[in-house]
Structure 1
Amino acid sequence: MITTRPATAADVKAMYPEHTASFRAWVVELGGEAKGIIGIALYRPIACLFSAFEEELRPHLKKPAVLRLIKKVEAVVNKSRVPVRAVADPNEPTAPKLLERLGFEYIGEIDGDAVYEHGGA
Structure 2
Amino acid sequence: MKTGLVVDDSRVVRTVARRLLEGWSFTVTEAQNGAEALERCTEAMPDVILLDWNMPVANGVDFLKGLRASPGGAAPKVIFCTTMNDLDHITEALSLGADEYIMKPFDADILKEKLEAVGLLEEYSA
Normalising by the smaller structure, the TM-score range is: 0.3 to 0.5
Which protein has the larger Cα radius of gyration, Structure 1 or Structure 2? 1
From the two aligned structures, give the one with the greater strand fraction: 1
TM-score, structure 2 normalization = 0.35
TM-score, structure 1 normalization = 0.36
